[in-house]
């Protein structure tokens, strides 16, 4: 299989996984905003924390990025995913901030009971 095909497969998988986590983070945020905290909220939070651990172990790099690096010499931030370059560059900052806000909201709902 050619390197271009391997990279394309990785980009597709990486984009799907990224989309999944965007939905999961959005769900945690929704739970906090709507005050609908259930066991699903905690499962979603655990998934995000698990992803965070994976990223920390990879020195803030997704394992798929490290794999894709074998098949590309590109210096673009989005060489391994179908996202605009600016979003790929600031992805972790944006979604960690959103997730942190969602956790703060959940904590307020639990402590204040509102």
Q: Locate the domains of the chain by residue range.
A: 3-112
Tens digits of per-residue pLDDT, 63-85? 999 999 999 999 999 999 999 99
Predicted pLDDT of residue 89? 97
Res 62 pLDDT > 70: yes
Report, as an integer, the average pLDDT of 53-60: 95
Predicted pLDDT of residue 33? 96
The verdict on pTM exceeding 0.85 is yes
Tens digits of per-residue pLDDT, 12-55? 999 999 999 999 999 999 999 999 999 999 999 999 999 999 99
Q: Which residues contact 14 (CB under 8 A, 6 or more apart)?
A: 62, 64, 65, 68, 80, 81
Q: Which residues contact 97 (CB under 8 A, 6 or more apart)?
A: none
Please, are residues 92 and 60 in contact by the beta-carbon 8 Å criterion? yes
pLDDT mean across residues, the chain:
96
Band (8; pLDDT cuts 50, 70, 90): very high
Predicted pLDDT of residue 38? 97
């Amino acid at each position: 299989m050619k390197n271009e095909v391997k990279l394309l497969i990785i980009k597709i998988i990486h984009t799907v996984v990224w989309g999944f986590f965007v939905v999961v983070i959005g769900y945690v945020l929704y739970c906090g905003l709507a005050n609908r905290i259930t066991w699903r909220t905690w499962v979603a939070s655990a998934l995000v924390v698990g992803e965070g651990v994976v990223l920390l172990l990879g020195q803030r790099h997704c394992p798929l990025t490290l794999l894709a690096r074998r098949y590309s010499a590109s210096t673009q931030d989005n060489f391994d995913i179908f996202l605009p370059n600016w979003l790929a560059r600031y992805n972790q900052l944006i979604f960690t901030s959103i997730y942190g806000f969602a956790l703060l909201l959940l904590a307020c709902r639990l402590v204040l009971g509102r």
